[in-house]
Amino acid sequence: MANIIIIGTQWGDEGKGKVVDLLAEHADCVVRFQGGNNAGHTMVVDGKQIISHIIPSGILQGKTCIIGNGVVVDPLVLAEEIDYIRSMGIEINEDKLKISDKAHLIMPYHTKIDLAREESKGENKIGTTGRGIGPCYEDKAARRGIRFIDLLDPQEFEEKVKKALEEKNRYLEAFFSADTLDAESIINQYRELADKLAPYVTDTSVFLNQALKNNQQLLFEGAQGTHLDIEHGTYPFVTSSNTVAGNACCGSGVGPQAITGVIGIVKAYTTRVGRGPFPTELLDDIGDAIQEKGAEFGATTGRRRRCGWLDMVVLNNSARLNGLTGLAITKLDVLGGLDSLEICTGYELDGNTIQYFPSSLKKLEACRPVYETLPGWEEDISVVRAFDDLPQNAKNYLKRIEELSEIPIKIVSVGPGREETIVLENDFV
């Protein structure tokens, strides 16, 4: 039996969707446990690209997909995504999709506040996805959030929306000179969504624990990345949830003893969308070349992703924070054609070389990467399906990552397609 957590080790967009879709073949349930539709997870099957923002990436494999209690859900986006996935010829019914009754709802005022705040910050903005994620998690922590269980109780829902708007409208008006929101129209819109989504809402913790009793295998799908974690990331340039593996249990209502492995998804280089420190960022032709070849545009907002070399300080930080038991290296094909490759093995700070990730943003910004240079390869590796068939320099690059992280590589991805993958070890079989 295996129950595996997949998490991003960098700043998101490592290729989690692709790896989850691949590994879901042998899982029974695929579980999102944090974040919301700030995520954009891309799957490419038979040449067809599908991007999911809120429905777990196991849906293409026909698995039971769970939106756990730790997720924040915009019900409008979810309803639209159900229609979109169906339009791709994929079945969604109450057996295939389950939403936690404890998951918090992203309300129209969350999105509005997120956007208004970012705009008012000007140069100092975080560069959020504008999906209302932060304001929704704020209300959850402040114990005034609205959950799916409330949505299913019309009277309770109405009272909660009216109460929330008393405060939100005053805030929107006074702070941002923004238009206020009308309670009735929100209540009517959400009532329709409640009718549509009610069949999927259940206690997903009870469901998952029963699945475990029945010897089913669970795959937990992290969103964002370790360095966007609200506590362990580059605060305040982070998202508003815990993105690390430990939260898979909390965000789904499953005990830690069930977990058998944690696979960290590692892009063969580094990218970041939005603002915040990024020690190995390349602001030169090589950065542009990687951005172009890797088609590095955000799957949610379409923003150009910042690109840089692989950073082992970042990866080793993730290894520690998540207890990684294996790595999946993605987008190795994108590095083909470069004369040489750099791997950051440490940072220079105040005349010393350090191997840790400083907690102080000021210190992190002062860090200069220390690089080790490896020779590149010319060949197109997207057709390779066995490790032994990779060019020697590509093998050396991978071996060096294993040496520096002391974690075995289990999967190497050489293209966006499900089949464009070298599987060295599958934890599920």
Peptide bond into 236 cis (omega under 30): yes
The reply to whether 13 belongs to the active site is yes
Q: Quick check: 40 binds ligand IMO (CB under 6 A)?
A: yes
249 touches ligand GDP by CB under 6 A: no
Whole-number Å distance between alpha carbons of 422 and 361: 37
Q: Please choose, out of 155-163, 221-229, 321-329, 343-351, the segment that lies near ligand IMO by the rule CB under 6 A.
A: 221-229
Q: What angle do CA 182, 185, 189 make, to 5 degrees?
A: 140
* Neighbour-count burial for 246-282, b at 16+ CB within 10 Å, e otherwise: bbbbebbbbeeebbebbbbbbbbbbbbbbbbbbbbbb
Task: Give the C-alpha separation, 412 to 394, whole Å.
Answer: 11
Q: Restricting to residues 239-258, which ones interact with ligand IMO according to CB under 6 A?
A: 239-240
91, burial (CB in 10 Å: exposed 0-12, middle 13-18, buried 19+):
exposed
- Looking at 18, 110, 272, 418, which residue binds ligand GDP (CB under 6 A)? 18
346 binds ligand GDP per the rule CB under 6 A: no
Catalytic residue of the set 21, 41, 110, 229:
41
Q: Please tell me the total number of residues recorded for the chain in this structure.
A: 429
Which uninterrupted H or E stretch holds 271?
strand 270-272
Of the candidate residues 5, 7, 8, 200, the single one contacting ligand GDP (CB under 6 A):
8
**Site track 75-114 with ligand IMO (rule: CB under 6 A), x = hit:** ----------------------------------------
Is the C-alpha dihedral spanning 270, 276, 281, 286 positive or negative?
Answer: positive
Angstrom distance (rounded) from CA 339 to CA 329? 20
The correct pick among 9, 13, 113, 267 for binding ligand IMO (CB under 6 A) is 13
Binding to ligand IMO by residue 224, rule CB under 6 A?
yes
Binding mask 382-421 vs ligand IMO (x if CB under 6 A, - otherwise)? Answer: ----------------------------------------
H or E element at residue 328: strand 326-330
- Report if residue 223 touches ligand IMO, rule: CB under 6 A: yes
Q: Residues 256-295: x/- map of binding to ligand GDP (CB under 6 A)?
A: ----------------------------------------
Angle at 387 between CA 280 and CA 297, to 5 degrees: 40
**Among 4, 5, 6, 13, which residue sits at the site for Mg ion (rule: CB under 5 A)?**
13
Task: Give the residue numbers marked as catalytic.
Answer: 13, 41
